[in-house]
Amino acid sequence: MKNFFPPTYFFISLIISVLLHFVLPISKIINFPFNLIGFLFFIVGTGLNIWADQLFKKESTTVKPFDKPSSLVQTGPFKFSRNPMYLGMTLLLIGAGFILGSITSFVGAVLFILSMEIIFIAPEEANLLKNFGEEFKNYKKTVRKWI
């Protein structure tokens, strides 16, 4: 599992959403022009990922989930989410679901959230606790995991 990073899970989830939409659409729930709301999710999700990534670069800390972090970033989007990059990718998947508009097109977003929770967030938070102790505990008390 450590060989695959969150973007891989994102792309797999996106492929699942698109395939399910075309193979098993079940029911179209969002029609034109309301499906265009998905583009807002794309803009916000992309912006969130770029912003968070730039802060990691500025702090010279790793974005790789299982590597040792050199600093605990608490500024920018990290003030309201402990996982803004995962949130950004989730918003992109939700945006795709809106654009496609079927119930099954949202399955990828749900699978992505579950995989991030199980595979990445729990070990990352244990790693942050190990490396930053009380500072991370205090941060965790004041900032929610997702939003």
The pLDDT value given to residue 25: 80
For residue 26, what pLDDT is reported?
84
Tell me the backbone φ, ψ of residue 76, rounded to 5 degrees: 60, -135
Is pLDDT of 1 > 60?
A: no
What is the CB neighbour count within 10 angstroms for residue 85?
A: 24
Summarised one tens digit per residue, pLDDT across range 63-116 is 998 899 999 999 999 999 999 999 999 999 999 999 999 999 999 999 999 999
Residue 2: per-residue pLDDT = 61
Q: Considering only 19-23, 27-31, 104-108, which range has the smallest mean pLDDT?
A: 27-31
Can you list the pairs that 109-117 forms with residues at least 24 positions away whose Cβ atoms lie under 8 Å?
109/13, 109/17, 111/13, 111/16, 112/9, 112/10, 112/13, 112/86, 113/86, 115/9, 115/13, 116/6, 116/9, 116/83, 116/86, 116/90
Hey, which residues does 102 pair with through a beta bridge? 28
Stretch 14-26: mean pLDDT: 94
Domain boundaries in the chain? Answer: 6-24+34-62+70-142
Tokens of residue 5, six digits = 């990073």
* Percent with pLDDT over 70 in the chain: 99
pTM, 2 dp: 0.95
Mean pLDDT of the chain: 95
Cis peptide before 123 (omega within 30 of 0): no
Task: Decide if pLDDT at 48 tops 90.
Answer: yes
Res 3: pLDDT: 76
Tell me what pLDDT residue 114 has.
98
